[in-house]
Amino acid sequence: MLPTLLKPGWTFCYACEANSPPRSFHCMTCNKCILKRDHHCMFTSQCIGHSNYRFYFWLVFYGWCGTMFCAINTVPYVLNLLDGFSIWKLPYFILPLFCFVLQYIPFFTAISSFITLLSVVFSCALLALLFWHCSHIYKGQTTFESSHRIYDYDLGWKENIVQSFGTKWYLTWICPWINSPLPSDGIEFQTKANYENSKDQ
């Protein structure tokens, strides 16, 4: 099938054999084009895009809150189990299970230290991911647009938040299932040029 005459910004997807709207990309894992595709998340086993971006963002945010809470509460506990911290006890934190096999620390201490290690590592990773997506939301970009320095959809940070979280964005942090309609239908998006022209009129 040959591509028909396309609207500006539309592309032809040869995998789907259909026209693909702006900001949409084909995902080889999902085997379909995703509206305003950001990336494919292996943890949720689906693409993150127009319809579920706010759910993903708050999942990352509350995941960071949970791991940070766990780290803050378990680090003092493990330090107490190990009678304080020293450079010689660093392997007990980094390789607790290996130290248990060598019988340097008891099993319970090794498990507690391992859980603390996971909490610290995941909280740091999720915090970095949170900053990464906050930057995208602030600039009105997807991951592809950020890597290719595309700023066509940057409408200002306030409007960019509405574009990602909906008209009731200030309530979605409580629960992402709160009805908060998105301004776009996922097919047509307001560009920076059109938005600035509409404000001038």
CA-based angle 9:12:16, to the nearest 5?
A: 135
Instruction: Tell me how far the alpha carbon of residue 157 is from its chain's centroid.
Output: 18
Residue linked to tokens 């980094």: 94
Classify 25 as helix, strand or coil: strand
Cα distance between residue 91 and residue 43, in whole Å = 29
CA-based angle 149:150:155, to the nearest 5?
A: 125
Q: Is 30 a catalytic residue?
A: no
Residue 13 φ/ψ, nearest 5 degrees: -95, 115
Annotated active-site residue in 41, 124, 134, 175:
41
Write out the DSSP string of 31-63: TEEETT--EEETTTTEEE-TTTHHHHHHHHHHH
| Residues catalogued as catalytic | 41
